[in-house]
Each structure stands twice: as structure tokens, then as C-alpha cells.
Chains A and B, each alone.
Chain A
């Protein structure tokens, strides 16, 4: 067109100009269109985002079992198998499991059933007796323990035998008419089923000092994620389980209930309590609820209502974050200002020193500096230790210079003391133990030591005793059937004022051997032990809830003997390798896979408190 325009000037030039314009417009449109198609960026600045907050275990993904409905052609044994399988599904209030039951049965496990935990699934029910319309089916299994309706697990290994009665309905299908043990037995679930269907969550109650919260781990069925907050708060209102009953108390007055379910809207939860709650302390109730609800990642802030009215704890906004109430932490108040607590070690030349940039700085020298397994009181006013043979408990004060150690206790012949441990109020605790026997000694500040009136492990050998920072729970390494096992007990005060230290429960069965332990935080132990199929003693993190242990760090540690841990502080291990005492730490304490290094020639590391 343009060439024609050039070739024939005159009248054509106008039209040629128009053609040129159209051509240019077309080119522009093509360019724009091309740019539009290629709109995905292939370069540009780096955009950073915040790290995703780690969801806690409570609302991690989970797996649900899908039950099958009873088939018409199934015989009695198959019906019982199907029922046992279907009862592991909590969907729709056990709707499918109910289909296996005859019309009259009042079987209703509810949201918090009692559960009998079996080692494995019952696969072969035995038909004991069968007539035209009636049948009796017996199942045999191996019981591990029970979970009561309040969520407390109690180990009770034994054989299980249960009998189901079945009848043929007018429609000609078999249905269960009688469930063994009525409603008490509740569900018969295998360990896998329990792990799948239930979560261990912590409820928080106040220790006797009214300041520190004590976690109370329970098993809670995960029906679905939406009702989880309501279930959790309801469980908290129900009070502590039998295990902690008497050792802790709750700020909720008796009879306090939820007016309706906990509503979560855009990460803000609303807890509405009945009017009985007016009698309680708003601050303490808020602390308990905050700590309990912070286990759910979908709740960031929450507000408390009593009888529909919003109440505001003193010094807070009506809607406050679940991470408030830090002073009530079960780990005690973490001192402000310092990044973490100073560790104390026993130096090679016989002194008690603090660990500063991998070097032991002497603090206490002289005879008191030579104590083994020293333990410093939380208020730094005195410290305790053992003689080198472990048959004497000595106390020294003050924590500076060269104080003279004072013998507090002398062991009986053949027995030894465990490393002493302090509670927040300055009470010293130590266990004296020999084979198949042990005693707990308690020395309140300024008073002579006494033996605890009730000590749950009196007939066992105890090789470690560590009090939790909340002062209510105590961890021990007790020898059960010749194998050292980590157990957790609680300290209660009997009505007459005497101490009751007992209700020890095994925490995990994954270690075949344990040497020493320390409280990493209120939920985790740092344990030196030997995992199954392991030949070396290694440090592990052991969650109190009983979930899987994780190994800590990599590299050789020689012969680890003692372990020390504190919230937010590096874990220290005292080892002995080729005849030399060393204190080891991880190169990067925040990374659990970081290798171990042993730069300090010292022994018996320990954190105050």
C-alpha cells in the first residue's frame, strides 16, 4: 500500500497515509498483545515473608478410620470384628458402630469415652455358642492399659477376655445385643487406633503456690478440628484427672460450664462461661484458659465472657493474646534480661564455677567446691551436693568464696543418694536408694530433713529424681524389672499436711536404658539413655505426652554421665572419655541436629533451680 502510495503520488497519497496509520496501529496492537501474553515475571526483586508459625501437635493433620456398615451376610464373629473396627471411628457419634447393635442397646461412648487399650487389633473372635437366634462371641486380647473418661491413661498390662451376645433380628441379620462390661468398659481399641483417634493435650492447673501452672496431659478424641477448642475447654472445666487430683487446683468454681461452644472467628476465640464463674478469679481462670488454648494454632487471641458479659482481667485488654500470662508459665518465671541461666560445673581442679564462653569461672572453692552433682538453689542462696562416693548429702552457703559444707544426710549401708534437686520455695529433695528400696528425703528451708510420708516407689531402685519447675511433678528413673525406666509422678499434700509423692507412670517405652534426666521444659525431658537396638548411651528429647522421642545432636560423646537442661538454654552433658571429664554442648544449640563439641574440661553440669 505504501509503495503504491509512493509510486503514484497525488490522490493516492491520502489513502496511503491512512494505510500507514493502520499498519502502525496493527503493529502496536501486536506488541501490546504480546506483552499481555508474556505477563509472568521472569525477574525482579526478592520478596521475603514471615516464617510460618509452627502448628503444634494438637492440630496437626490426622487420619481417620472409615468404618464399614454391617453386611447382611455376616455371621456373629464377623459382626463382632466389624463392630470392634467401627468403634474406632468417632464420626457422627459412632453412627456406624451403632448399626452393629440391636435396637435396645443404650451403648453410647460419647465424646470422651473410657477406652481399653489393646496391643493389637482383635482379629479372630471365637464363637462360643450359637443357636438359631442367639450367639455368644468371645474375644481375647492383650490389654495395655485404660483411658478413663477424664482422659487419664493408666497402664495395666494384662490379658483381656470379653464376651459379646448377639441375636438375630426379624430381618435375619445378626446384631450385638450386649456389649461386654456394659458402658464402663467403653471402647476396645488397639494402640494404633488410640494414637490415630486421640490426641494428648495438656490442661493447665495451678500448683499450690497459686502462681505456677501445672500441665495435666490427657487423651482427647479428635472428633473434628472445629469442636476441638470446645472439647479442650470442657475438659479443662472438668478439672484435673485423677492423677493430679489433690496436687493442683483449678480457679474455676465448682459447677462452671460453657454456655455454648467456644467460637473461633478469625483466630479470636470467645469462651463463654456460666454465671458460677463469677466467684472465681478472672486472672487465674484466664491464665488457665490461655495456656490451655495456646496449644491450638488457630487461636491467637481470645476473650472471656461470663454469662454473656465480657470480663477483662486486670492489666489486659478484653481480647488478649493466648501467649499472655507468661508469669504463670509451668517453667517458672524465666529471668528477664539474661538470655539464659548460667550453668554451673565442677572444675577439674575442684571448684564450683559458672560456665562462661566454654570456660569454667570459679565461684566456690575449697571443700565445698569439690562436691559432686552440685545443685544450686533457685534463689542462689545455698547449694547442695553429694560426696564423691554418693553416700552423703552436703549443703553449703553462701554461693561464693569457700564456704564450709555441712553434712545433711548420711546414707544407710549399701544405698546411695540421687543428685539433689530444689523446688522454687527452697526445699531440697533427694532420694536415697538401694536395690529394691528407696526413700525420699525432703528438707524445707531452715528445717531438718524428713522422709516423705508417702513415697510411691518405695520398693524400687531409683537412680535419678528431678523435680519439675512447677514443683508438682517429679521425674524419676526407676528400675522396673531390672530395667531403668523414666517415670513421672506428682507431689500432693494429703489433708493432714503430709506429703504424698507417688502415682508414678511410665512416660515412654522407647528407651531400654536411662542414665540421667533433666527437665528441658514443662513438656520435655532431656534424657541420657539407650534407645532400643542402640548400643551407645545418647541424649534424647522425650516429650512427656509419650510421643516419639527424638535424638539430639550428632557425634561421639564418649561415656555420658550427667545431663543438664533449662528452658531456652543449651543442653549440657557431662561425659567421661579416655579418663577425662568433659562438658559437652551442641555447636548450635538451636538446631537439634547440630554436632556435639566438648570444649570444657569439667564435670557435673547443672542449671540452678
Chain B
């Protein structure tokens, strides 16, 4: 049985869950819309506020109508009562008891009562101890509230009083609210009890129509608010879209100017701003173009004289031992080395200006990254031995094939390794290679001075040096990492740096397996295992990307 119950409960629970989901979705959508749309916000608040105002107004109006109705009823009721009291006085006065006279008075009083009549009557002879008076038709004497009787008993002779109460009947009819007026004449108390059914119906009708009108009014206000905000919001939205497109680089984007209102002014200002921006950005672009062109031109122009100087320098260098003055020989050696440095600087400049001009192209072939790494490590073996560093390789067992430009990747790796050796302080240099389905990565880790916070990004800046005072012993141009990063980006890959003062640094090159594919992640961590904490990792990650 319990199982049955459970089985029965399951769909219900499922339905409940679905409902809850739908509700939550709706609420979320509603909240999102509320947050994002001025129109929704204004319409909602208009609805809310106007509903409150209409409700207050409606209550006030109902109050007015009902009090007006009741005032009229009370006035009429008191007139009736005066009439009845006058009749009672005329018929009975204060004369001694005469049953038939009282009876005939009651007969006269009752004639206008009843279900089709206007009111019920209750008359009471205060001196008669065996009767509590007479009522017309089915009316119960309890319909006259005790408070009214007390009031009349304590009031001076001839007083009138009225109150509202419930009229109850001896038959099964439900009791209904009524107006009860009473007065005394001599020893008689006379009460007229008016049913308020008609008034109640009128009030209900009025209330209903007022509620209808109120709802229509609130909806109308909401519609007006919606229309008005629409007129305001649509140009604002267009402006926002325009600004977005402008921000995305479409500088020719303009807003349509219609009319001559505030929004038209906004559009015009926006357009002016856009035109200004376009102009300025164009100028800047031209300027940088000119600069790049200038660098490129200079590099090219320098090559020709450099070649000549090189030939001359080579000759001087070859005959350096023949010079009498050893200082001259030394100068020739110096010249030679500086020329080499100049050449590589020039080559780097050319390379970077090619990147800047977007003229760099990829010449991809499918290669095993391990081979590349081994080759480059072999190339710098001498340098590292000189520096006293040992290069430790961590290569995977299987081939790490990727479509890459051999020259560029070799250049990147060489750069990284040379840097690592130079800043490695003679410690071990660990080169790891890893691959996953989409990407391959090479990380070069040194245990040198490391990088200060923020330097992870700066290392890729052109002509940036970790220590400007350091001797340029290895003849770095200051452009190597910049070019490496450009190369990595050309592959669609990343080149990122991590470092901590005293803990060394690690550079990671991540490349997609297929040239041009988008890189989603790297098979190797940027922060080497066992080093650093979360904070710099984050900072560098952000900087890297």
C-alpha cells in the first residue's frame, strides 16, 4: 500500500517539480527582463502605484456612496418613525390600557410592512410585564439590539435613536443587515426595522462597476506608460546598439536623426561623437602605420650599408692579428661582435615589423614537437654548459605531432631556452613537453631570480629587460619574447609566463595541433607543480590571456 502510494505520488511529485521549474524559469526571466528593460520597470511600477491609488480612491468613493445612501435611508426611516409615533400617540396617548385600541393601532402599523413592504415594526408597551410587545411578520424581537433599547430607556422622553444591526426571522430565512430606528412616546416603544437589501445590492453594483473601471484605468495607465517609455526607450536602445557597434570597431555606425526633440539631439550628439572618434582613430591608425613603415624602411635601408660594413668588418677581423697595435685588433673584434648584434637586431626589427604589418605567414608542416625540442636543446647545449646549467628533458613516450611552422617554433623555443639559461643562475633547466587531443605544450622552467608580480606580462614587451643594469653578455635584442609571442599567436597558440621572485619562472608555449584551430586549454600547467600559490597564478593567467 505504501508502495502504491509512493507510485501514485511520483507523477505528482514530478509534476510539482516541473511546475516549480517553470515558475523558477519564469521568475528568472521576469527578473532578467526587469533588470534589463526600463520599459518593463516603468510599466510595472506604474501598474503597482496606480493600482494602489485607484484602490484608495475606490475605497474612498465607496465610503462616500455608502454614507450618502445610508444618510438618505436614515432620513426616510426617521420620517417614517415620526409618522408612526404620531399615530401611536394619537391612538393610544397615555390613556389607560385598552387592548382593542392597541390592536387596531398595530393593525394600522403593520399594513405597510412585510416582505413586499418597506419595513418591519416592533412595538412594545413598557408597562406590560407579560408581553414583550408585538412584531410584524416573521421578525424576531432579538433583531432590536439591546444597546438601542438601553439607549432609549435612558434617553429623555420622546427621544429617537437609530443603529444598524442584523434582522433575524423565525423562519429559515438568513438574517440580514438592517437599519433600526426607535422612539418612545408615553409608555410605548416603537421600532421600525428597515432591510438594507436594496442598498446592499446598489452598493455591490456600484462596487463592482468601480472595480471594473479601476482595473480598466490601471491597465490604461500601464498601456500609456508602456507607450511613452517605448517612445523614449527605442531611441535609447538604438543609441546603445550604435555605441556597441562603434565599440566593436564599426566606426561608420551612425544613429538616425528624426525630428528635433531631445532624442534627436541625443542622436546628433552621438553622431558627432562617433564622427570625432572615427577621425581621431583614423589619424592614430595612419600615424602608427607611418611609424611601422618607417621602422621597416629604416631596417631595409640599413641592411645595404650594413652588408658593406660587414664585409669590411669581416676583413678587418680576419686580419686582426696583423695589426701592430693590439688595441686595433681588439677594436676589430669588438666591431665584429657588435655588428653581429646589430644584424640580429635588424633581423628582429624586420621580423617584428613584418608581424606588425600583418605580412607574417605560416609555413606549416606536421612535426613531432619532441624532435624540435631536442634539436633546440642540442643547439644551446654549449651555452648552457658555459653557464653551468643542465637542461633536463621531460618528454612523453609517444610522438607529439602538431602542424607548426618549424622555423618559428624553433625560434620560440630557442628564445625561451636562451632566456632560461641566461637567467637560470646555473641551476637546472627543465623542459617538459605534453600533448592532449587538441593541443601540444612546451614548458621551460628555470630556477633563477624569477619574475616580480606583474612582470609576467611585461616580459613580452618590446625592449623590456628584467634588469636594465645587467650586462648584455648574450647579446639579446630585447625583441625575442615579443617576436615569440607574435609567432605563437600566429599559430593560434599562447605564450605565457609565470614567475615568482626567488622561485624562478616558467614559460609555457601552447599550440593547437591543427594550425589555426582555436585553443581551449593547455596540456601543461602554467605554474609548475609544487611552486607558487593561487594568487599569482590567477594574476598571471589573466595577464597571459
Using a CB–CB distance below 8 Å, which chain A residues touch chain B? Answer: 55, 60-68, 78, 81-82, 84-86, 91-92, 120-121, 190, 192, 195-196, 223-227
Give the CA-CA distance A223 to B172 in the complex, in Å.
Answer: 12
| Residues A68 and B132 in contact in the complex (CB < 8 Å), given A60-B114, A61-B110, A192-B99 | yes
Q: Point out the residue from B100, B111, B171 that lies within 8 Å of A226, measured CB to CB.
A: B171
What sequence of 0s and 1s flags, for each residue 133-146 of chain B, a beta carbon within 8 Å of any chain A beta carbon? 11111111100000
| Residues A62 and B130 in contact in the complex (CB < 8 Å), given A55-B116, A224-B170, A226-B171 | no
| Residues A85 and B130 in contact in the complex (CB < 8 Å), given A66-B135, A121-B99, A225-B137 | yes
Is B129 a contact of A68 with CB atoms below 8 Å?
A: yes
Q: What are 16 A-B pairs with beta-carbon distances under 8 A?
A: A61-B110, A61-B111, A61-B112, A62-B137, A64-B137, A81-B130, A85-B130, A85-B131, A91-B140, A91-B170, A192-B99, A196-B103, A224-B138, A224-B169, A224-B171, A226-B173
Least Cβ–Cβ distance between A554 and chain B, in angstroms: 23
Residues of A contacting B122 with CB < 8 Å?
A: 66
Those 7 A-B pairs whose CB atoms lie nearest each other, nearest first: A61-B114, A224-B171, A66-B132, A85-B130, A226-B171, A66-B141, A61-B110
| Residues A67 and B131 in contact in the complex (CB < 8 Å), given A192-B99, A226-B171, A227-B171 | yes
- In the complex, the chain A residue whose C-beta lies closest to that of B115 is A225
What sequence of 0s and 1s flags, for each residue 106-122 of chain B, a beta carbon within 8 Å of any chain A beta carbon? 11001111111100001
| Residues A192 and B103 in contact in the complex (CB < 8 Å), given A68-B130, A92-B170, A227-B171 | yes
* Majority DSSP secondary structure for residues of A touching B: mixed
Is B99 a contact of A61 with CB atoms below 8 Å?
A: no
Give the CA-CA distance A226 to B113 in the complex, in Å.
Answer: 16
Give the CA-CA distance A94 to B130 in the complex, in Å.
Answer: 15
Residues of A contacting B103 with CB < 8 Å?
A: 192, 195-196
Residues of B contacting A60 with CB < 8 Å?
A: 114
- In the complex, the chain B residue whose C-beta lies closest to that of A297 is B116
Number of interface residues of B (CB under 8 A): 33
Give the CA-CA distance A78 to B169 in the complex, in Å.
Answer: 29
Give the CA-CA distance A121 to B103 in the complex, in Å.
Answer: 13
Residues of A contacting B172 with CB < 8 Å?
A: 226
- In the complex, the chain A residue whose C-beta lies closest to that of B124 is A66
Residues of B contacting A67 with CB < 8 Å?
A: 131-132
Residues of B contacting A190 with CB < 8 Å?
A: 99
Give the CA-CA distance A84 to B129 in the complex, in Å.
Answer: 13
Using a CB–CB distance below 8 Å, which chain B residues touch chain A? Answer: 99-100, 103, 106-107, 110-117, 122, 124, 129-141, 169-173
- In the complex, the chain A residue whose C-beta lies closest to that of B138 is A224
Is A82 a contact of B130 with CB atoms below 8 Å?
A: yes
- In the complex, the chain A residue whose C-beta lies closest to that of B111 is A61
Residues of B contacting A121 with CB < 8 Å?
A: 99
Least Cβ–Cβ distance between B124 and chain A, in angstroms: 8
Give the CA-CA distance A76 to B186 in the complex, in Å.
Answer: 30
Is B171 a contact of A64 with CB atoms below 8 Å?
A: no
Give the CA-CA distance A67 to B99 in the complex, in Å.
Answer: 16
Q: A61-B110, A196-B103 are in contact. List 10 more A-B contacts (CB 8 A).
A: A60-B114, A61-B113, A63-B107, A64-B170, A66-B124, A66-B141, A120-B99, A192-B100, A225-B137, A225-B138
Least Cβ–Cβ distance between A345 and chain B, in angstroms: 40
Least Cβ–Cβ distance between A443 and chain B, in angstroms: 47
Least Cβ–Cβ distance between A280 and chain B, in angstroms: 31
* Majority DSSP secondary structure for residues of B touching A: mixed
Residues of A contacting B117 with CB < 8 Å?
A: 61
Residues of A contacting B114 with CB < 8 Å?
A: 60-61
Residues of B contacting A81 with CB < 8 Å?
A: 130
Give the CA-CA distance A62 to B107 in the complex, in Å.
Answer: 8
Is B133 a contact of A61 with CB atoms below 8 Å?
A: no
Least Cβ–Cβ distance between B373 and chain A, in angstroms: 80
Q: Point out the residue from A62, A65, A66 that lies within 8 Å of B110, measured CB to CB.
A: A62
- In the complex, the chain B residue whose C-beta lies closest to that of A69 is B132
| Residues A66 and B99 in contact in the complex (CB < 8 Å), given A225-B171, A226-B173 | no
Residues of B contacting A195 with CB < 8 Å?
A: 103
Give the CA-CA distance A73 to B220 in the complex, in Å.
Answer: 71
Least Cβ–Cβ distance between A550 and chain B, in angstroms: 15
Least Cβ–Cβ distance between B94 and chain A, in angstroms: 20
Residues of A contacting B170 with CB < 8 Å?
A: 64, 91-92, 223-224
Is A66 a contact of B134 with CB atoms below 8 Å?
A: yes
Q: Point out the residue from B110, B112, B129, B130 that lies within 8 Å of A63, measured CB to CB.
A: B110
Residues of A contacting B138 with CB < 8 Å?
A: 64, 224-226
Least Cβ–Cβ distance between B220 and chain A, in angstroms: 16
Residues of B contacting A66 with CB < 8 Å?
A: 122, 124, 131-135, 141
Give the CA-CA distance A195 to B124 in the complex, in Å.
Answer: 19
- Residue of A66, A81, A86 with highest tally of chain B CB at under 10 A: A66
- In the complex, the chain A residue whose C-beta lies closest to that of B112 is A61
Is B106 a contact of A63 with CB atoms below 8 Å?
A: yes
Residues of B contacting A63 with CB < 8 Å?
A: 106-107, 110, 134-137
Least Cβ–Cβ distance between A215 and chain B, in angstroms: 25
Give the CA-CA distance A400 to B135 in the complex, in Å.
Answer: 62
Q: Point out the residue from A55, A64, A227 that lies within 8 Å of B136, measured CB to CB.
A: A64
- In the complex, the chain B residue whose C-beta lies closest to that of A71 is B129
Residues of B contacting A91 with CB < 8 Å?
A: 140, 170
- Residue of A64, A190, A224, A226 with highest tally of chain B CB at under 10 A: A64
Least Cβ–Cβ distance between A263 and chain B, in angstroms: 12
Give the CA-CA distance A76 to B498 in the complex, in Å.
Answer: 117
- In the complex, the chain A residue whose C-beta lies closest to that of B140 is A91
Least Cβ–Cβ distance between B54 and chain A, in angstroms: 18
Give the CA-CA distance A120 to B99 in the complex, in Å.
Answer: 9
- In the complex, the chain B residue whose C-beta lies closest to that of A64 is B135
- In the complex, the chain A residue whose C-beta lies closest to that of B97 is A123
Least Cβ–Cβ distance between B110 and chain A, in angstroms: 5
Residues of A contacting B107 with CB < 8 Å?
A: 63
Is A68 a contact of B131 with CB atoms below 8 Å?
A: yes
Residues of A contacting B140 with CB < 8 Å?
A: 91
Residues of A contacting B124 with CB < 8 Å?
A: 66
Residues of B contacting A224 with CB < 8 Å?
A: 138, 169-171
- In the complex, the chain B residue whose C-beta lies closest to that of A68 is B132
Residues of B contacting A84 with CB < 8 Å?
A: 130
Is A61 a contact of B136 with CB atoms below 8 Å?
A: yes
Residues of B contacting A223 with CB < 8 Å?
A: 170
- In the complex, the chain B residue whose C-beta lies closest to that of A65 is B134
Give the CA-CA distance A192 to B106 in the complex, in Å.
Answer: 12
Give the CA-CA distance A68 to B136 in the complex, in Å.
Answer: 17
Give the CA-CA distance A60 to B131 in the complex, in Å.
Answer: 23
Least Cβ–Cβ distance between A262 and chain B, in angstroms: 14
Give the CA-CA distance A605 to B135 in the complex, in Å.
Answer: 48
Is A64 a contact of B134 with CB atoms below 8 Å?
A: yes
Give the CA-CA distance A289 to B180 in the complex, in Å.
Answer: 40
Give the CA-CA distance A500 to B129 in the complex, in Å.
Answer: 50
Residues of B contacting A68 with CB < 8 Å?
A: 129-132
- In the complex, the chain B residue whose C-beta lies closest to that of A298 is B115
Least Cβ–Cβ distance between A231 and chain B, in angstroms: 12
Give the CA-CA distance A121 to B112 in the complex, in Å.
Answer: 27
Give the CA-CA distance A227 to B111 in the complex, in Å.
Answer: 21
Give the CA-CA distance A225 to B169 in the complex, in Å.
Answer: 11
Give the CA-CA distance A91 to B134 in the complex, in Å.
Answer: 12
Is B100 a contact of A62 with CB atoms below 8 Å?
A: no
Give the CA-CA distance A82 to B132 in the complex, in Å.
Answer: 11
| Residues A62 and B136 in contact in the complex (CB < 8 Å), given A55-B116, A227-B171 | yes
Give the CA-CA distance A226 to B99 in the complex, in Å.
Answer: 29
Residues of B contacting A192 with CB < 8 Å?
A: 99-100, 103
Least Cβ–Cβ distance between B336 and chain A, in angstroms: 83
Give the CA-CA distance A78 to B129 in the complex, in Å.
Answer: 9
Least Cβ–Cβ distance between B337 and chain A, in angstroms: 81
Residues of A contacting B134 with CB < 8 Å?
A: 63-66, 196
Least Cβ–Cβ distance between B210 and chain A, in angstroms: 14
Least Cβ–Cβ distance between B172 and chain A, in angstroms: 6
Give the CA-CA distance A86 to B129 in the complex, in Å.
Answer: 11
Residues of B contacting A61 with CB < 8 Å?
A: 110-114, 117, 136-137
Give the CA-CA distance A223 to B173 in the complex, in Å.
Answer: 14
Residues of A contacting B139 with CB < 8 Å?
A: 64
Least Cβ–Cβ distance between A415 and chain B, in angstroms: 42
